[in-house]
Structure 1
Amino acid sequence: MTNRALDDATAGDGLTVGAVASLVGVTIRALHHWDAIGLVRPSERTDTGYRLYTVADLARIHRVLVYRELGIPLNDIGTLLDAPATDATASLCRQRDQLRERVAHLQRMSDALDRMIEARQSGILLSAEEQVAIFGQHWQPSWVEQAHDRWGDTAQWAQYAERAAGRTAEHWQQIAESVDALNAELAEAHRTGVVPGSDQANALAERHRASIGSYFDCTHSMHVCLGRTYATDPGFAAFYDDIETGLTTWLRDIIDANARANGVTPESAAWV
């Protein structure tokens, strides 16, 4: 059927709109529209007035299809088809450059999604060696996997993964240095007898909550829950007590006191 139709056009008999639609894979409605706007008009007519497409018309249709596949608007396609060769070439070069930029943009989006997927699965886009180098010898890379197993289905883990996906080793180094500095101040405050609930203790508790905020948004109620975890989880307790003996309990106490000062009752605090 297709070969017969093409032979008819080549022989000068021309093709009807229905035959062309079947041949090139577009709708009759599209061909009528292209005719109406002057994009592709049938060059011949039958004795009874039916319009017929010639081989040259078919060639123009195929060029339209190529340009349309590139995302070029129909009005611009008409300009391209009718422009002198030099103008058409310049326009195509612009279209090509725009297309390449779109491809590059899509590739960047794809890469970002890959990083986010990996971050949601692994928690941090650093090798075990990089983690230890940045977070210190006390750091155990298995903690990230444990955190994923424990909180991987929560909104906070999703938020953490989104932020982790955009962080480089340098970003993590800055965060680690900030946390180390804060832990040193916490240890000094505990060592010098800063009382939970005092202005100084509350300010330190707020800074600690803000440091958690680099991973996910942390409310005062959630902060209290974290303080409980620090005091009851052997891993967390060992981490803080290695910095300063008794720091874990004191940190929980200043978190509770600061939460109370901000309208949260620690005894009934929940992960909200």
Structure 2
Amino acid sequence: MATSEENGKKEGTNLLGSPTFTELGNGRFKCVETGHEVLSKDIPSYSHSKKCRLGLIDFALSKHKPPLNMFKQDPLCRSKLICKLTGDNVNKSEEHIWKHMSGKRFLNKLEREEEEKLSSQGMEVEEGLQESKSTDDGRKDRKKKKKNKNKEIDEENLKESKSAEDGGEKDRMKKKKNKDKAIAESISEVRKSSDEDSDAEEEDFWMPPVGKRWDHDDGGDRWGSESESEQETEDQNVIDGAAGENCKESEELSSRYFASV
């Protein structure tokens, strides 16, 4: 009885709490952590036994339950644990585990570990902020570059369209000029050919030589003297008289012929 009271007064006693049991029937229960079966009346005494407390420590080690997640089993000794933080060996008992965890060496090491962790997290956060900032700056730069590039493309397209319009206008003016020139050349050629044809016609027209005529007219006096015209009149009268006599003779012969018939 005195022993149980002393155990209750020890620091670190019941560090892992009470075990859990499942009812099997017929007044029997099974410990979940150790697998040991006991009667209902033996549960309190078994819960404070060394076997049960060691079973609780082994179960917490296997499941990495706090505070045993800071320890691991010593491979050289079954009754020893190794602290992961300080590397010290600790007896496998709740009292020694509690004393080690409440000691200055463990607490100082734990504080430094937490500071380093916080600083690393702060650095990570700061790096993350810097990365996000640089990412934002990069996005801004990309947007700015894209905007400038689009602006340059628009300016180039505007210049090309303007140059194309100027070139098209120049081509149209040039074509119109060439067309007018061709029309002028055609008109000039037509006029030239017409002048050549008129010249050829004038050259083909026959002109008599100077001083000679086809009717042998020497250009003298075209009208005879009065005596010559009287002579010609007399000659014409003689001719006309002779023709009249011949006509009378013909009529007389004709009448005689028809009379005889």
TM class by shorter chain equals under 0.3
Q: Identify, as 1 or 2, the structure richer in strand.
A: 2
Query: TM-score, normalising length from structure 1?
Result: 0.26
Query: TM-score, normalising length from structure 2?
Result: 0.27
Q: Flag the structure with more relative contact order, 1 or 2, with Cα contacts below 8 A and sequence separation at least 6.
A: 1
